[in-house]
């Protein structure tokens, strides 16, 4: 099944929704089965509760211990993009979750270590001209300089 999660604009207002594969745990509670490509702050494995009273439209109940990584590629993507990024994700204990023409989404366990993840992703995008990458669930969506810190208490 898929759930609709709100995507916030730069002012923190809901602008569109992203359909994200999820498993229902109970009424209104879900576990994400894939990392999103637009919704900030969550990754595959996170458990959340839909709540329209929350600015993001949901409340995180439990972290799954995964990093959501967005790799932006030029269009058309360089030859071998998916193979290179899949190989990078696997080397970190993760996987290529999907994407679209200009974006690839990787899910990687936080246990791989930030230094290792950053070194591997920097090497991968160096081989893919016009590419860059960013974390989708490491920094506060309202303050890009403030880490969320969820990994300090992750399972």
Buried b (16+ CB within 10 A) or exposed e, 36-75: bbbbbbbbbbbbbebeeeeebbbebeebbbbbbbbbebee
pLDDT value at residue 71: 98
**pLDDT tens digit sequence for 120-146:** 999 999 999 999 999 999 998 878 889
DSSP conformation class of 123: H
pLDDT value at residue 14: 87
pLDDT value at residue 70: 98
pLDDT value at residue 154: 56
**For residue 110, is pLDDT > 80?**
yes
**For residue 149, is pLDDT > 60?**
yes
**For residue 41, is pLDDT > 90?**
yes
**DSSP H or E segment with residue 17:** strand 14-26
Contact (CB, 8 A) for 138 and 108: no
d(CA 47, CA 61): 5
**pLDDT tens digit sequence for 42-94:** 999 999 999 989 988 999 999 999 999 999 999 999 999 999 999 999 999 99
pLDDT value at residue 142: 78
The pTM is what?
A: 0.94
């Amino acid at each position: 099944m898929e759930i609709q999660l709100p995507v916030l604009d730069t002012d923190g207002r809901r602008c569109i929704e992203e359909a994200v594969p999820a498993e229902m745990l109970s009424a209104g509670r879900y576990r994400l089965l894939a990392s999103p490509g637009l919704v900030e702050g969550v990754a595959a494995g996170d458990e959340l509760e839909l709540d329209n009273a929350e600015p993001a439209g949901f409340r995180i109940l439990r972290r799954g211990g995964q990093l959501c990584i967005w790799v932006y590629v030029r269009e058309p993507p360089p030859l071998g993009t998916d193979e290179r990024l899949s190989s990078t994700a696997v080397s970190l204990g993760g996987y290529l979750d999907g994407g679209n023409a200009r974006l690839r989404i990787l899910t990687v366990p936080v246990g791989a270590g930030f230094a290792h993840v950053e070194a591997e992703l920097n090497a991968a995008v160096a081989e893919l001209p016009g590419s860059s990458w960013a974390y989708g669930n490491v920094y506060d969506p309202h303050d890009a300089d403030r880490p969320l810190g969820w990994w300090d208490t992750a399972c």
